[in-house]
Amino acid sequence: MTPSPTEASERAAGPPPALGIGMVGYAFMGAAHSQGWRTAGHVFDLPLRPVLAAVCGRDETSVRAAAAKHGWAAAETDWRRLIARDDVQVVDICTPGDSHAEIAIAALEAGKHVLCEKPLANSVAEAEEMVRAAEAGRARGQLSMVGFNYRRVPAVSYARKLIEDGRIGTLRHVRVTYLQDWLADPLAPLTWRLKRERAGSGALGDLGAHIVDLAQFLTGEPLAGVSALAETFVRERPVLGGPSAGLTGAAGSAYGPVTVDDAAVFTGRLASGALATFEATRMASGRKNALTLEINGERGSLSFDLERLNELSFHDHAEPAASAGFRRILVTEPEHPYLEAWWPPGHGLGYEHTFVHQARDLVTAIATGTDPAPSFADGLQVQRVLAAVEESAAKNAVYTPVPPPSETPA
């Protein structure tokens, strides 16, 4: 873990130049991103040094407290002022989806690099605008990236490598789920996440976006079409903090309507003709964060479960049948993606390491002028799939084609 003499002497020449980060939003995602920005430069040898310049939120007291807690040097209450700061080169957007487009486009127009949380936007139209802004920015040397952090679980990155290396062969099946259970209880309260006007959609946008992105990322193929069913199992939930709050037994007065889906299931075809199944739900009792995926090909298969994120299962179908089987690879070897900088084999990583890796990769891309992935165009493609899923679900499972990614927005 100690630097080699060469590294040390280079370092003696001085620390790497600073790269100022400005973050909008400081709730769950903001906390995770903060940990990523704070840590990346202490673990990886980065060409630029991320500096937590300023964080932005609407309530001054709260945002100051958040800045203190998460290690940001300054606090802003207007995201336009944050974007305008000279010490901010990267704008990191951690707000709900309905504000992504406006902030991202403004930041790009202001000459900043942008990292935007997923889903890229709440509509295809917004996402298309964002892609156009990102392309214009790219022409000026600015980079854009969307925060599908699960691509950066080392086991997922390594799965992609195995597929690129041909270890799976001709693709046959993709099956992906993202199962949570925090809405299994019908008395769980009616938060803004259950309101269409704020959240855009329910399990579909929140969880489905991740699994659609992973399916396309891992296979290297876009979805060609989908057929979907969606359901809101619990249509009314107790309102929190309203005048009748607590009177949950009273005749309807304390309840409000849930206007997003609790769950969505969908099937699809990938560009090559492989079949795929998807399920996103917040009602799967006992499943906490079960993003599971399995990919079957002519030469092999892969499976993964985010609840055991340091493991990848790989079956090599070229092995003799008698000694073949799914092997549990602990993805903690120095040869594995991102692992060169962490701990010895078997000393696992956790959820927030994906944000450290995301920070590393964006910083490196900025320093080297290369395009980071996933791009806004990747985010748009996910949005198009989700829109097709919603359309199919509205039409009771009619097969709905997804425009191919080559069709860039006009």
Site for its own copies in 39-68 (CB under 8 A): 39, 42-43, 45, 61-62, 64-66, 68
335: contact with its own copies by CB under 8 A:
yes
CA–CA gap between residue 377 and residue 375 (Å, rounded): 5
Q: Answer for the pair 283, 231: CB distance below 8 angstroms, yes or no.
A: no
Among 74, 275, 367, 373, binds its own copies (CB under 8 A): 275
Size of the site for its own copies (CB under 8 A): 116
The token pair that represents 113 in the structure block: 């690099």
The token pair that represents 181 in the structure block: 């259970």
Which residues 80-109 are close enough to bind its own copies by CB under 8 A?
none
Question: Using CB under 8 A as the criterion, what x/- string covers residues 129-168 for binding its own copies?
Answer: -----------------------------x---x------
Which residues 163-202 are close enough to bind its own copies by CB under 8 A?
172-173, 175, 177, 179-182, 184-186
Task: Please state the closest distance from residue 271 (CB atom) to its own copies, in A.
Answer: 14
241: contact with its own copies by CB under 8 A:
no
42 versus 81: smaller Cβ distance to its own copies = 42
Task: Please state the closest distance from residue 127 (CB atom) to its own copies, in A.
Answer: 25
Region class of 3: left (phi > 0), else alpha (psi between -120 and 50), else beta:
beta
CA–CA gap between residue 133 and residue 111 (Å, rounded): 11
123 versus 277: smaller Cβ distance to its own copies = 277
Q: Answer for the pair 400, 391: CB distance below 8 angstroms, yes or no.
A: yes
Question: Using CB under 8 A as the criterion, what x/- string covers residues 369-398 for binding its own copies?
Answer: ---------------------------xxx
The helix (H) or strand (E) run that includes residue 212 is: helix 209-219
Among 47, 246, 325, 404, binds its own copies (CB under 8 A): 325
CA distance to 68, 247, 276, per residue, from 223 (Å): 44, 46, 9
CA–CA gap between residue 192 and residue 111 (Å, rounded): 32
Q: In which residue are the tokens 């891309």 written?
A: 365
